[in-house]
């Protein structure tokens, strides 16, 4: 896309991980996972790409492969808080656009970053954007690990949920396990784009009851009335690195 507005990319790089400790430093074909993500982000055409970490080992590794990296506090609850700290330290403000690219997604398609930025740019009243894709498998409709989103006529999120939304009252009540051709079911893709002014407000936003029960961070914004534009992608991006098994699969995919 050649008509995108300017944007920054921040790669939150937390050291601890309950399922796979130190995964961002794990070797993937001769480079740590986080280096793959950084080098991928450099090809997206952003004004800047910054790794934001809470640990000296990641900081040193990032410096070693020539990345722009900042050390952030180690008490952040999520990547959005880390992004907000970086935005404040960099002096980003107002409508400046910041993309959160997860540090464990080394094969994230660049076109998804562009599509998410374009979604935000297309809606001047929105302060945040994300992506979703059509749900193809009926089993995913009923899977609580698949986050669903429903949109309004402007493409903005009405709600995100682990539950089955929307509910096909007539079909599901009769035990149907198939998706009708016109069933508006979308699976959320966890790629977020923010305006700097929203990140500046984030620290003062309390956790919402919706977020508490669904364990979905994005519900904090909906609870506060923040318009969230949802772009529709063709499909899910390749799986990231959540477990050692994921890393092994990526090694095989890349021909290790």
* Domains of the chain, start order: 1-105 (3.90.550.10), 109-189+196-237 (3.90.550.10)
pLDDT per residue over 15-26, tens digit each?
887 778 899 999
Rg (CA), the chain: 18
Query: How far is 113 from 118, CA to CA, in rounded Å?
Result: 9
pLDDT at 176: 63
Query: How far is 130 from 112, CA to CA, in rounded Å?
Result: 10
Per-chain mean pLDDT for the chain: 92
Q: Above 60 in pLDDT, residue 1?
A: no
Residue 200 neighbours by CB distance under 10 Å: 16
H or E element, residue 210: helix 209-214
% of the chain exceeding 90 in pLDDT = 73
Task: Please state the three-class secondary structure of 40-104 as a single string.
Answer: HHHCCCCCEEEEEECCHHHHHHHHHCCCCEEECCCCCCCHHHHHHHHHHHHCCCCCCEEEECCCC
pLDDT band at 62 (very low <50, low <70, confident <90, very high): very high
Q: Is the dihedral of CA 64, 69, 70, 73 positive or negative?
A: negative
Query: How far is 196 from 180, CA to CA, in rounded Å?
Result: 40
Which residue, chain included where needed, has tokens 């620290």?
203
Q: Above 80 in pLDDT, residue 178?
A: no
Contact 7, 1 (CB under 8 A): no
pLDDT band at 162 (very low <50, low <70, confident <90, very high): very high
H or E element, residue 202: helix 196-202
Strands 148-151 and 186-195: antiparallel
For the whole model, what pTM was predicted?
Answer: 0.93
pLDDT at 76: 84
């Amino acid at each position: 896309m050649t008509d995108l507005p300017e944007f920054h990319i921040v790669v939150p790089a937390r050291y601890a991980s309950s399922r796979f400790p130190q995964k961002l430093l794990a070797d993937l074909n001769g480079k740590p996972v986080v280096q793959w993500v950084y080098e991928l982000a450099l090809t997206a055409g952003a004004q800047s790409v910054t790794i934001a970490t809470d640990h000296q080992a990641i900081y040193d590794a990032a410096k070693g492969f020539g990345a722009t990296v900042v050390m952030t506090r180690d008490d952040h609850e999520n990547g959005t808080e880390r992004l907000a700290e970086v935005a404040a330290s960099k002096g980003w403000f107002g409508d400046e656009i910041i993309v959160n690219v997860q540090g464990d997604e080394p094969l994230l398609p660049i076109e998804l970053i562009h599509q998410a930025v374009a979604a935000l740019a297309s809606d001047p009243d929105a302060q945040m954007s994300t992506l979703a894709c059509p749900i193809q498998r009926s089993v995913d409709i009923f899977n609580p690990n698949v986050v669903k989103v429903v949109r309004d006529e402007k493409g903005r999120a009405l709600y995100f949920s682990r539950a089955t939304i929307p509910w096909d009252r007539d079909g599901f009540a009769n035990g149907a396990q198939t998706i009708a051709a016109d069933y508006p079911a979308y699976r959320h893709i966890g790629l977020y784009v923010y305006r700097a002014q929203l990140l500046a407000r984030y620290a003062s936003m309390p956790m919402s009851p919706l977020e508490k029960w669904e364990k979905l961070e994005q519900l904090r914004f909906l609870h506060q009335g923040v318009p969230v534009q949802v772009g529709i992608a063709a499909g899910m991006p390749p799986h990231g690195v959540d477990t050692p098994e994921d890393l092994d699969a990526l090694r095989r995919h890349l021909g290790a």
